[in-house]
Amino acid sequence: MDAPIVKHRRQIKNIIINPKFQIKFIITMSLGAIVLTLCYNYIFYNFIQEHYFAILKYSDVHPQMKNEIIEQMSSIYFYLSLLSLAFTVSIIIWSIVVSHQIIGPMYKLKKVFNNIILGNGEQRAFFRKNDQFHDVATAFNELMDKIDHRYVDDPANMPPPMDMETDDNNN
């Protein structure tokens, strides 16, 4: 049984659902992107310095032509730095989206669990199509269906609802 896909749009204010997990994830991914970008730029710059500038230094090229080549190399380095910055920003944005796709379903499952504990045994988990863990929602829903059938067959087995204070701030 496939779970229906919920088609609610995300709102910007709801992107960071679990700050502890999501910020750690975003920082980890961002630092990785920054380190890779810095390493790439450092290696490229040193390669240019060691090889091309050494060739220019010992070649018989006119000084004006040498200056033009050096300006072109500086321009290339500048554009590669901009590209690296764009790469880093895209990794940060991607990590925000992916962290939300991971934590959003977990947040929804927690709400479903709390509702079931409070006595709503017919509650089921449904995720948006781009969320992760659809297989977990499907397995959970199948489990709840089996439990429901078990209690329909013998209502005496039904446990009473539990008193529970929900605290959505403690994720």
CA–CA dist 4, 125 (Å, integer) = 9
Burial of 58 (0-12, 13-18, 19+ CB in 10 A): exposed
Strand partners, 128: 6
Q: What is the pTM of this model?
A: 0.64
Measured torsion, CA atoms of residues 113, 119, 121, 127, in degrees rounded to the nearest 10: -30
Q: Are 37 and 88 in contact (CB under 8 A)?
A: yes
Closest listed residue to residue 108, CA positions, set 38, 18, 37, 11: 18
pLDDT at position 6 is 53
The CA radius of gyration of the chain, in Å to the nearest whole number, is 28
Q: Give pLDDT tens digits along the chain (171 positions).
A: 455 555 555 565 677 888 888 999 999 999 999 999 999 889 988 888 888 878 887 888 888 888 888 888 889 889 999 999 999 999 999 999 888 888 888 888 899 989 888 888 788 888 888 778 888 888 988 888 888 777 666 666 666 666 655 445 444
Q: Are 26 and 96 in contact (CB under 8 A)?
A: yes
